[in-house]
Amino acid sequence: MSYTLINPATGETMETIDHVTVDETDHAIERARVAQKEWASFTPAERGEALRRFARAVENDVETLAALEVRNSGHPISQARWEANHVRNVLDYYSAAPERMLGKQIPVAGGIDITFNDPLGVVGIITPWNFPMTIASWGFAPALAAGNAVVLKPAEWTPLTSIRLGELGVSAGLPDGLFQVLAGKGSVVGNRFITNETVRKVVFTGSTEVGKGIMRGAADQIKRVTLELGGKSANIVFADADVDKAAATAPYSVFENAGQDCCARSRILVQKSVLDRFMEQLEVSVSKLVVGDPTNEATEMGPLVHASHQAGVEKYLEHADVAFRGSAPSGPGNWFAPTVTMSRGVTDPCMTDEIFGPIVTVHAFDDEADAIEIANATEFGLSGSIWTRDIGRGIRVSRAVESGNLSVNSHSSVRYNTPFGGMKQSGLGRELGPDAPLHFTEEKNVFIPAD
């Protein structure tokens, strides 16, 4: 089996990627099992050094990685460069972890009690097509740092940067088979990560629907899982906020990566008294968004990843009250102009569904309690933003919104040094931040008597 890639910005057919079979997946997992033993025999300092060499290999390859993401995924070049540099940063950050897996010394009677953080063995990582290389690194860097081997299955549509990262790991001198990238279908390769007993943990990022299946499958072997799933995040704008700044920045909180972002603030909740002002300013900022050729340095938003995904996004316009739209090129490529709709109520599909495209819906609210209730009226809980000049309100609302990653008067959400993950059906477990390597270990407790 194989898959022929299509450039999302031009519609041109590109290279064909061979897919691995179930047998080849098993073979790779066995190689990973052997490699992990070798990796575990390295001293912590040697593992750290190997990860730093991997980081340098990525650093020297930023332009190549970025160009691959532009071609394969349609990401604007400036964004793709940021992503490649982010992978380097993630590797650098976790390269310090092997020497900092400290364990604990627990005071007990009659001797000493110590804990060890043992690696799990082989970890399987399954990634989506929206941020292929960054999301992969959130799994493989801390997993490797904790002493594991990794098999990575990228999404069928967007494998190129992951394949390249696999090559860079080899060139950096990681043990043979320690980090392998297996291109293939989720139902074949991804599913084998679930059923093969040598894989002790699966890190899955993707849709909530597929994630539920992964969790069900993992139950058979009590296999560990981390799930990073969908979102329908709220950007809450109170009347006491810097409304102009909120409106100027809102497009970047939802239209980045053409809305194909699990953290997209795709519901804007605006306090009624400032709705008109906010909409006027939002129209200005949306019209300024530079949508077009992703190879252009000035481009802020590229095409959607695939024609079939574009068709799915377009369906939402059939039953939506469109307020205004930005611009997009016409002609070949999966173009979709950034679109702002007015909410038809909390059951409007634009208010409930993760569209994963450049559509944002504005919903007016009365007061703080109303805003919190609407923000939480979703099964998702991944990110969100709160705009207010009242510091107390910022604290109250950020504590009340059921979401894993919030920001006040800003739209930041992913930093490699802070934890990231979802509440409710947006996921299970956390990635990134100082504790991520621990999530790839088993805590072992040992008591040694003093007599």
Interface contacts to ligand NAP, rule CB under 6 A:
126-131, 135, 153, 155-156, 185-187, 190-191, 205-207, 210, 213-214, 228-231, 262, 354, 356, 382, 422, 427
Partnered with residue 341 across adjacent β-strands are 322, 361
List the catalytic residue out of 228, 300, 354, 431.
Answer: 228
With tokens 């040094």, the residue in question is 417
Which CB, 243 or 360, lies closer to ligand NAP?
A: 360
How many Cβ atoms from other residues are within 10 Å of residue 46's Cβ?
12
- Token pair for residue 61? 């390859």
Q: Assess whether 350 carries a catalytic annotation.
A: no
> Min. distance of Cβ 207 from ligand NAP in angstroms?
3
> Min. distance of Cβ 434 from ligand NAP in angstroms?
18
> Min. distance of Cβ 156 from ligand NAP in angstroms?
3
> Min. distance of Cβ 368 from ligand NAP in angstroms?
27
Which CB, 281 or 426, lies closer to ligand NAP?
A: 426
SS3 331: coil
Which CB, 128 or 166, lies closer to ligand NAP?
A: 128
- Choose among 214, 197, 127, 216: nearest CA to 166: 127
With tokens 């990582």, the residue in question is 125
- Token pair for residue 383? 């990110």
List the catalytic residue out of 69, 156, 262, 354.
Answer: 262
Which CB, 227 or 282, lies closer to ligand NAP?
A: 227
Which CB, 39 or 129, lies closer to ligand NAP?
A: 129
Q: With b meaning 16 or more CB within 10 Å and e meaning fewer, what string describes 163-184?
A: bbbbebbbebebbebbbbbbbb
Which CB, 130 or 388, lies closer to ligand NAP?
A: 130
> Min. distance of Cβ 352 from ligand NAP in angstroms?
14
> Min. distance of Cβ 34 from ligand NAP in angstroms?
24
What is the CA angle 38-43-45, rounded to 5? 130
> Min. distance of Cβ 155 from ligand NAP in angstroms?
4
> Min. distance of Cβ 103 from ligand NAP in angstroms?
29
Q: Which residue is nearest to ligand NAP (CB)?
A: 186
DSSP collapsed to 3 states, 5-36: EECCCCCCEEEEEECCCHHHHHHHHHHHHHHH
Label residue 450 exposed, middle or buried (CB < 10 Å: 0-12, 13-18, 19+): exposed
Strand 339-342 relative to strand 321-325: parallel, antiparallel, unpaired? antiparallel
- Token pair for residue 261? 């972002």
Task: Phi first, then psi: give them for residue 209, nearest 5 degrees.
Answer: -60, -50
- Choose among 20, 25, 18: nearest CA to 2: 18
Q: Assess whether 262 carries a catalytic annotation.
A: yes
Which CB, 50 or 225, lies closer to ligand NAP?
A: 225
Give me the count of residues in the chain. 451
> What's the start-to-end Cα distance of the chain, in Å?
63
- Choose among 204, 201, 200: nearest CA to 228: 204
Which CB, 166 or 230, lies closer to ligand NAP?
A: 230
- Choose among 109, 40, 112, 98: nearest CA to 446: 112
* Cβ neighbours for 427, distance < 8 A, ≥ 6 positions apart: 211, 226, 227, 228, 229, 382, 404, 421
Which positions are catalytic?
Answer: 228, 262
